[in-house]
Amino acid sequence: MLETLIELDKAIFLIFNSHHTLYFDQVMWVVTGRFIWIPLILSILYVFFKKNYKEGLLVVLILAVTVLLCDQIASGLFKPLFERYRPSRDPEFSQYVTLVNGYLGGRYGFISSHAANAFGIAIFTIQLFRNKLFSISVILWAILSCYSRLYLGVHYPGDILCGILVGSITGYLCYKIYEKLHDKIFFQKTIPYRKDKNVNVIISVLYITYIFILIFAPLINFKIK
């Protein structure tokens, strides 16, 4: 049964990884990086602290804990525990993998830290803002982040799916902790960011970043991640 699932995982991976163009190589290379998302992070911080700096400190603290937990569960627990090679590192499979800029990633890939972190952030903020357009937008961002890892050949679909599961559960539980702490610290059950129109700033920055990537990624030889 396990061997069948592993073979299916590899077959699905090849579907995502087999179709490359120079244009999308550069686009996905930028998408999977961190620096390009700095404006998005700054816009989130702006919205958090615009209401009240004490409220902002609490939500930033819990969101940081969410990311830390997602990252440590993925990289500190699962990867050394299961020791499953990334497709790019698998000595029996790497010959079939299409790489970008020679990027291999670390040795082990189960589970995906990118997937866990992205969905941890997504689920936490979806619960926080309760805004339909934001929810759709942040889920698309998280899915794109996951797809970039398949495209670059550094994760199997199974790595991604389990990362999504871990990240989603972690994000949801951390939000529930945030709710409890918010109630105890500020003596109110109403979350100030719910239905906050300032979330449109985050949405705008996100789509502007997408447009920037689509236009400029092919024009600049991005090598830094």
Q: Which tokens hold the place of 88?
A: 């790019």
Cis amide leading into 191 (omega within 30) = no
Q: Note the pLDDT of residue 224.
A: 43
Exposed/middle/buried for residue 195 (C-beta within 10 Å: 0-12, 13-18, 19+): exposed
Phi-psi region of 78 (alpha: psi -120 to 50; beta: other; left: phi over 0): alpha
Q: Among the residues of the chain, which ranges form H helices?
A: 2-17, 22-31, 38-51, 53-71, 79-82, 113-129, 132-151, 157-186, 199-216
Q: Note the pLDDT of residue 190.
A: 78
User: Rounded to an integer, what distance in angstroms lies between the CA atom of residue 38 and that of residue 6?
Assistant: 36
Name which of 56-60, 67-71, 87-91, 190-194 the model is least confident about: 190-194
Average pLDDT in the 79-88 region? 95
Q: What length is written for the chain? A: 225
Q: Note the pLDDT of residue 30.
A: 93
User: First vs last Cα of the chain: how many Å apart?
Assistant: 37
Token pair 């024009």 is at which residue? 219
Note the pLDDT tens digit of each residue in 108-138.
999 999 999 999 999 999 999 999 999 999 9
Note the pLDDT tens digit of each residue in 41-73.
999 999 999 878 888 999 999 999 999 999 999
> What CA–CA distances, in Å, run from 101 to 74, 98, 139?
25, 10, 27
Note the pLDDT tens digit of each residue in 143-177.
999 999 999 999 999 999 999 999 999 999 999 99
Q: Note the pLDDT of residue 225.
A: 43
**Model's pTM, two decimal places?**
0.93
Exposed/middle/buried for residue 7 (C-beta within 10 Å: 0-12, 13-18, 19+): exposed
Mean pLDDT (the chain) is 92
What's the number of CA atoms in the CB half-sphere (13 Å) around residue 102?
2
Listed by start position, the domains of the chain span: 20-93+107-216
Q: Which residues contact 201 (CB under 8 A, 6 or more apart)?
A: 43, 46, 47
